């Protein structure tokens, strides 16, 4: 298992292959060679925050845009807003998300996810929901 993990990390370029290891005859006389497998992942020093909002007016949507600008993922439930305001809000937040290099995803008719750059969204989400609904897991 460790060898597989090391190959994955090497393939991603996170660690370098140990070029000094002996591959043809194994380790001589049962000597074991230990290598340091500590991997340093870059961090911005802050953890990802997920904000959940249920706005009633477009004014509340403008404050949600501030969360996106501060690199926070936001899940928004638009059930309580007027349909014309929902369209306007989704367009506005999609623009903010696009301008900051992020992604957006429609979860269902009223719920949307807006994520900052660096957060990957599951593109098979809708397929997973349909499968779970068919299985009665929802």
Class of domain 56-135: alpha beta
Tens-digit pLDDT profile for residues 20-73: 444 444 555 555 544 444 555 555 555 677 889 999 999 999 999 999 999 889
Mean pLDDT of 103-131: 78
Buried b (16+ CB within 10 A) or exposed e, 79-98: eebeeebbeebbeebeebbe
Tens-digit pLDDT profile for residues 106-117: 988 999 999 988
H-helix or E-strand containing 43? none
Full-model pTM: 0.57
Contact 104, 113 (CB under 8 A): yes
What is the residue extent of each domain of the chain? Answer: 56-135
Contact 6, 39 (CB under 8 A): no
Tell me how many degrees the CA angle 129-135-138 measures, rounded to the nearest 5: 50
Query: Phi and psi for 16 in degrees, rounded to 5?
Result: -95, 150
SS3 assignment, position 96: helix
pLDDT at res. 7: 65
């Amino acid at each position: 298992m460790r060898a597989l993990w090391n190959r994955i990390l090497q393939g991603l370029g996170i660690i370098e292959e140990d070029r000094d290891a002996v591959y043809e005859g194994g380790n001589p006389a049962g000597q074991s060679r230990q290598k340091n497998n500590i991997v340093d992942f870059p961090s911005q020093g802050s953890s990802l925050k997920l904000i959940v909002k249920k706005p009633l007016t477009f004014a509340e949507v403008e404050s949600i845009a501030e969360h996106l600008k501060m690199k926070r993922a936001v899940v928004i439930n638009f059930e309580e807003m007027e349909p014309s305001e929902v369209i306007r809000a989704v367009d506005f937040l999609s623009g903010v998300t696009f301008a900051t290099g992020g992604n957006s995803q429609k979860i269902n008719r009223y719920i949307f996810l807006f994520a900052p750059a660096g957060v990957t969204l599951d593109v098979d989400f809708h397929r997973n929901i349909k499968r779970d609904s068919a299985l009665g897991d929802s």
